């Protein structure tokens, strides 16, 4: 029992380390909440892009064209206004495809892979729109994130204490220069 106390006490040696680890765990535990809120924003953006793409497809259908043909025809036009309109339509189509792919990837990712999938697919302009409110999560996923935060906090704290000393030559006694 004393060996376990010494081992755990070695990881949580100082008050500064305990505080650092606590805030790291608290910070990481908010990740599921933020990713779910981001999914809500992404879902709304995806719906708006989908509506625009359907309207473009309807206009293309009225002319007996497919959406890509309609957009290509606008871009090839001599009129600058038509060219810009075609570029805008192509941009809306690209945004819809990206939003749909990102939404499906993040929503279907597992608890362990979700942060990496999120970072791969996040649209930072949409992420700014997330109205984040901290939560105290009671899910298994949040517990896993808390444990990861504790481990990361311990590793980062130790790394921040150890490596600067090693790189700067701290901890080594200086020999007198005679």
Would you mind telling me the total number of residues written for the chain in this entry?
Answer: 178
Q: Who contacts 86 (Cβ-Cβ below 8 Å, separation ≥6)? A: 71, 72, 73, 74, 75, 76, 77
The helix/strand/coil state of 62 is helix
| Two tokens, residue 41 | 């924003």
The helix/strand/coil state of 85 is helix
pTM summary value: 0.71
Ordered by start, the domain boundaries in the chain are 14-125+136-151
Query: Is the CB of residue 27 less than 8 Å from the CB of residue 146?
Result: no
Spatial CA neighbour of 101 closest among 116, 123, 86, 80: 123
The confidence score (pLDDT) of residue 106 equals 95
Query: Is the CB of residue 145 less than 8 Å from the CB of residue 32?
Result: yes
Per-residue pLDDT of the chain (178 residues; tens, 9 = 90+): 565 555 555 555 677 777 888 888 888 888 888 999 999 999 999 999 999 999 999 999 999 999 999 999 999 999 999 999 999 999 999 999 999 999 999 999 988 899 999 999 999 999 999 998 887 777 788 788 888 888 888 888 878 877 766 666 655 555 555 5
The confidence score (pLDDT) of residue 73 equals 93
Spatial CA neighbour of 34 closest among 172, 147, 142, 154: 142
The confidence score (pLDDT) of residue 23 equals 85
What is the Cα 101 distance to its own chain's centre? 15
Q: At 25, which helix (H) or strand (E)?
A: helix 15-29
d(CA 22, CA 177): 45
Burial class for 5, CB neighbours closer than 10 Å (0-12, 13-18, 19+): exposed
């Amino acid at each position: 029992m004393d060996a376990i106390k010494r081992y755990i006490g070695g990881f949580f040696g100082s008050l500064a380390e305990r505080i650092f680890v606590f805030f790291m765990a608290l910070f990481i535990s908010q990740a599921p909440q933020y990713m779910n809120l981001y999914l809500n924003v992404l879902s709304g953006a995806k719906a708006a892009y989908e509506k625009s793409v359907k309207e473009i497809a309807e206009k293309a259908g009225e002319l007996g064209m497919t959406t890509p043909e309609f957009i290509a025809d606008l871009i090839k036009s001599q009129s600058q206004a038509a060219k810009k309109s075609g570029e805008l339509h192509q941009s809306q189509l690209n945004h819809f495809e990206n939003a749909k792919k990102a939404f499906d990837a993040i929503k279907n990712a597992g608890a362990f892979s979700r942060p990496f999938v999120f970072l791969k697919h996040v649209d930072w302009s949409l992420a700014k729109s997330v109205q984040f409110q901290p939560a105290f999560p009671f899910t298994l996923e949040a517990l896993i994130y808390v444990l990861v935060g504790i481990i990361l906090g311990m590793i980062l704290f130790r790394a921040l204490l150890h490596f600067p000393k090693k790189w700067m030559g701290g901890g080594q006694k200086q020999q007198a220069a005679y």
